[in-house]
Amino acid sequence: MTSTPQPLIVAVDDEADDLFFLRHIIGKTKIPHRFQPFANGEAAVLGLTTIIEQQNAFVLPLVCFLDIKMAAMNGFDVLKWVRAQRALDAVPVLMFSSSDHPHDVDTARELGAQGYLKKYPSVEAMRTVLEEARDFALLESPKKTFLQWSYRFVDSSDAVAAK
């Protein structure tokens, strides 16, 4: 009997404390998952390329959280790369940033992110985001409908955006 692997959540941030917090808040949602952190954009590209190349064990990440402000390859660069990979078309990408500058939010939307999560969200807000991503993952292909997923800015003061 084969068991289905737990959903993979990818996080890219060059701040170890922010990765720790993200892992902690996701854990508090009690949603079963595997957590794959990457310390920079370059490591994320290499790791996601490896995932794509493992055809016989290929399981798309449930969601990818990207910090914007990173050295060398920033979050927008990683987002452009992800959106250029046909194999990752169905992976929702959420920017995970301390910036609330409208230009950053607009750029994320223009480059194909499905949402913008302000550091540091409540457990309830994170649970809502992960449940929406899980519901999307269960949809039949093609999954382009996710691009119409209600793009929203989730602030740390938001309890639950919509349910």
Can you give the residue ranges of every domain in the chain? 8-154
Task: Kindly tell me if the per-residue pLDDT of 74 is higher than 90.
Answer: yes
Task: Kindly tell me if the per-residue pLDDT of 65 is higher than 90.
Answer: yes
pLDDT digits (tens, 9 = 90+) for 116-136: 888 888 899 899 889 888 887
Contact indicator for 152, 125 with CB cutoff of 8 Å: no
Task: Give percent above pLDDT 70 in the chain.
Answer: 80
pLDDT digits (tens, 9 = 90+) for 132-149: 888 877 776 655 444 444
Model pTM score? 0.84
pLDDT digits (tens, 9 = 90+) for 52-62: 888 655 577 88
Q: What is the CATH number of domain 8-154?
A: 3.40.50.2300
Residues with Cβ within 8 Å of residue 10, at least 6 apart in sequence: 36, 37, 38, 44, 47, 48, 61, 63, 64, 65
